[in-house]
Amino acid sequence: MSEAKLDRRQVVRSLLERRAELLVVAGLGSSAWDCTAAGDHPLTFPLWGAMGSACMIGFGLALAQPRRRVLVITGDGEMLMGLGSLATIGAQGPHNLSIVVLDNERYGETGMQRTHTAYGADLAAVAAACGFARAETVRSAVQIAGVRSGVYRGGGPLFYQVKVKADPAPLVLPPRDGAHLKHRFREALLGAKAAAE
């Protein structure tokens, strides 16, 4: 509905530079490619499927790792498929979880069909109504510094619906082997010894 102005690759790069101990779950498709384009990282868990589950995976991680900040970066189509997760996260109120939805108003991976957000579905309003500590729609580059400070220091749960251009970006694929991605993430998070137990 609104004119999307932001470049998704730049948004993700800004959020993930100097990422320190941040744990990242990337929704399938373009969001995962965006995270990889910003630099493949063992503490990023990119999904190759599980559409609709990114937020719940991030939520579980936030509960398991209460001292670490957790960021879910996903698409509007993926978020719409798992909308109920916002109610659960709002009810549980994890203080270390942020969700950034890169809202291009399209199902990019399957041919750029328009999603519900193109017809006015307001995901930030849904998150706010579910009890998130903060829920914002982000339309301009000047707001990204605020998103970044929320993600790294802002408590939670936080929700940012970032309106981005629908232009396709070049594919930058993460490793594809799910077992490898899981072991690599656990090792980087827990250390080799604990991860093997």
Ligand X SMILES: Cc1ncc(C[n+]2csc(CCOP(=O)(O)OP(=O)(O)O)c2C)c(N)n1
Task: Note the residues at the interface with ligand X (CB under 6 A).
Answer: 27-31, 49, 51, 75-78, 102, 104, 106-110, 115
Chain residue whose CB lies nearest ligand X:
75
Q: What is the distance, to the nearest Å, from the Cα of residue 42 to the centroid of all Cα atoms in its chain? A: 16
Q: How far is the CB of 106 from ligand X (least distance, A)?
A: 5
For ligand X, the closer of residues 98 and 104 by Cβ is 104
For ligand X, the closer of residues 133 and 162 by Cβ is 162
3-state SS, the chain, equals CCCCCECHHHHHHHHHCCCCCCEEEECCCHHHHHHHHCCCCCCEEECCCCCCCHHHHHHHHHHHCCCCCEEEEEEHHHHHHCCHHHHHHHHHCCCCEEEEEEECCEEHHHCCEECHHHHCCCHHHHHHHCCCCEEEEECCHHHHHHHHHHHHHCCCCEEEEEEECCCCCCCCCCCCCHHHHHHHHHHHHHCHHHHHC
Q: How far is the CB of 164 from ligand X (least distance, A)?
A: 8
Q: How far is the CB of 96 from ligand X (least distance, A)?
A: 24
For ligand X, the closer of residues 27 and 46 by Cβ is 27
Q: How far is the CB of 29 from ligand X (least distance, A)?
A: 4
Q: How far is the CB of 99 from ligand X (least distance, A)?
A: 13
Q: How far apart are CA 163 and CA 123, in angstroms?
A: 11
Q: How far is the CB of 28 from ligand X (least distance, A)?
A: 5
Q: How far apart are CA 114 and CA 174, in angstroms?
A: 26
For ligand X, the closer of residues 165 and 186 by Cβ is 165
Give the tokens for residue 77.
């189509």
